[in-house]
Chain A
Amino acid sequence: MSRLRMGRGLVLLVCGIYFAVPMCASLLFSIDDYHGGYTFHAYTELLSAPGFLDSLYLSLELAAATVAVLLLVLVPALLAARLGAPKLRPVVEVMCSLPLVVPVVALTTGIVGVLRWGPDYFANSPFFQTFVAIQNPNFPVVLLIAYVLMALPFAYRALDGGLRGVDVATLVEAARNCGASYPRAVISVVLPNLRSALLSASVLTVALVLGEFTTASILGFQPFSVWINTYGKTDGQMSVAVSMISLMVVWIVLLLMSALGSGRRKSARS
């Protein structure tokens, strides 16, 4: 038995080293000044790096818009499936699961294909302006659509999990009996009960949008992740510094989510 225990310790140790070394080495790399000393210039000069704030701003804007559109589209559909039409549930589930099957690169080829229809078929119609407008580099609506689609499966899972713990039909029925209109019942009775599920869906979506690279890079826009890649080719240290920060961000996001999860569990029990 003690031999087993030692084997287990060894396995954990080796893997611990494999996972810790890149983090330590990256941290070292980002503060090494190559003269035997240390410098934190990569972290302090980040704010003044060209394009840093613009790209970060674009990413945050996209993240906020994605969350808003996602919830506006998904929540009514989920509630409708719970309340009125059980037949709707498999339909919603399939719509929310299909984006998982298609790799993001492949989805992007489809988007490029659609965008090409603009000049190819609609060049002389007023419709053409729509194609130009959704590709505005200051706020690319086409990215927004792609991100909402990509976030759909994860947000669906989070919200569906939350809905499982709440008896929506009874809540709405009770509110209606008290004289509340349908929208009022949803807004002031159902949604507050779903607070933590809504929050965790939003947090997941924000994390996804901030990290997304494939679509933005292929379509030629420059949100944060694309900026890191471009800029990283000129200043290696700063790019590693940003990578360390983004690891931190993922960590914080997940801590936040598991805190939300345990909060939900506690309230469900009481």
Chain B
Amino acid sequence: MTTAPTPVPAPAAVDNNGGAGTPGTAPASQAAPTATRRGRRSGNRAWLGALPLMVFFAIGFGLPAIAIAIGAFTTSSDAPGGGGTFTLSNLTSSLHGAYFTALLGSVKLSALTALIGTVVGLPLAQAVATSRFRMVREAVLSGSGVLANFGGVPLAFMFVATLGNAGEVTTSLGLKKYGWSLYTFDGLAVVYLYFLIPLMIITITPALEGLRVQWREAAANNGATNFQYWRYVALPVLLPSLLGGYVLLFGASFAAYATAEAMVGSSIPLISMQIGDALSGNVLVGQGNLALALGLDMIVVAGLVMAVYLPLQRRSAKWLS
């Protein structure tokens, strides 16, 4: 997920988000009479056009999904009793011991970094959105676009060069004396925030720009203090967007693999590291399908995250129009 491009606040992206509620209805309604006039034949031909995508999807997505669904519930081929028999032991052992610790570690890291990202990102985005200088605004937004898309191995190396054991900042400030180490849970959190905070800024800025000046003025006319305005007007309006942003950050940091792998390997218990280890054959004999069960665990968590995110995104779109 770290290397996955996120929408940039370029005019094009804003266009797409701004019209999220209604887009496409116009062309569709124009196309509808044509479709009915031509009748069935053109409809069938249209499905033919989508055939390549469907075939590809069945192979690229369907087969791995089936492999996980079957593999997670059967014994692997190197098991003593032969492969292919139904079992729940993969799933139960993926939720016990070191693997459970790793799952908890991932959830903890994601929850913490997403929380910090949200809490830091909001005032920062507000400071940027209300800045009088157009230049500052545009520079921060495009910079955020770059950093939110920057991740993976290069990010890890940059931080090793900065805060690692021989890093420039570590040596020049003598941070080791204070017990600093990049290769810990906290170190990883600092690295993740480097792309999570910018991600929060580009996610929440459209919502902040949707706050009308009139609301603030109306609150002020009724004698509300600045705090009261935020407590009773702005935050309730922003809440769906904020929660949605939090969930998005959680998902991004939960799915991240490359940065942690390049920086700390599996010395920090994270579910993605454990899966990588298990896939490279780093498990006991007969537990080859354990990795598939771990993958299933991860998909379930990510699916829950999406199930929360999508309705929130729809709700917050209401205020952006």
A-B contact count (CB 8 A): 314
Among candidates A85, A168, A200, residue contacting B27 with C-beta atoms closer than 8 Å:
A168
- Distance in angstroms from B217 CB to nearest chain A CB is 15
Chain B's closest residue to A102 (CB) is B299
**Chain B residues whose C-beta falls within 8 Å of the C-beta of A148 in the assembled complex:** 56, 60
* Interface presence of B93 (CB below 8 A): no
Given contacts A19-B194, A109-B68, A213-B153, contact A12 B4 (CB under 8 A): no
* Interface presence of B162 (CB below 8 A): yes
Given contacts A8-B127, A213-B257, A218-B279, contact A110 B65 (CB under 8 A): yes
* Interface presence of A250 (CB below 8 A): yes
Contacting B at CB under 8 A, from A127-185, are 145-146, 148-150, 154, 157, 160-161, 163-164, 167-170, 173
Residues of B in contact (CB 8 Å), total: 106
- Distance in angstroms from B224 CB to nearest chain A CB is 16
Contacting A at CB under 8 A, from B146-169, are 146-147, 149-155, 157-163, 166-169
* CB–CB B24/A164 < 8 A: yes
Among candidates B24, B30, B162, B254, residue contacting A22 with C-beta atoms closer than 8 Å:
B162
* Interface presence of A55 (CB below 8 A): no
Complex Cα distance, B28 from A239, in Å, reads 50
Complex Cα distance, B139 from A175, in Å, reads 44
**Chain A residues whose C-beta falls within 8 Å of the C-beta of B13 in the assembled complex:** 261
A 222-234 binary contact with B (CB < 8 Å = 1; else 0): 0001001100100
- Other CB < 8 Å A-B pairs besides A261-B11, A261-B15, 17 of them? A22-B159, A85-B47, A105-B255, A109-B292, A116-B67, A117-B67, A207-B5, A214-B257, A218-B280, A236-B166, A240-B157, A242-B154, A247-B158, A257-B8, A258-B10, A258-B142, A265-B12
**Could you tell me which A residues sit within 8 Å of B by CB distance?**
8, 11-12, 15, 19, 21-23, 25-26, 28-30, 32, 69, 72-74, 76-77, 79-86, 88-89, 91-92, 95, 98-114, 116-117, 120, 145-146, 148-150, 154, 157, 160-161, 163-164, 167-170, 173, 200, 204, 207-208, 211-214, 217-218, 225, 228-229, 232, 236, 239-240, 242-244, 246-247, 250-251, 254-255, 257-258, 260-262, 264-265
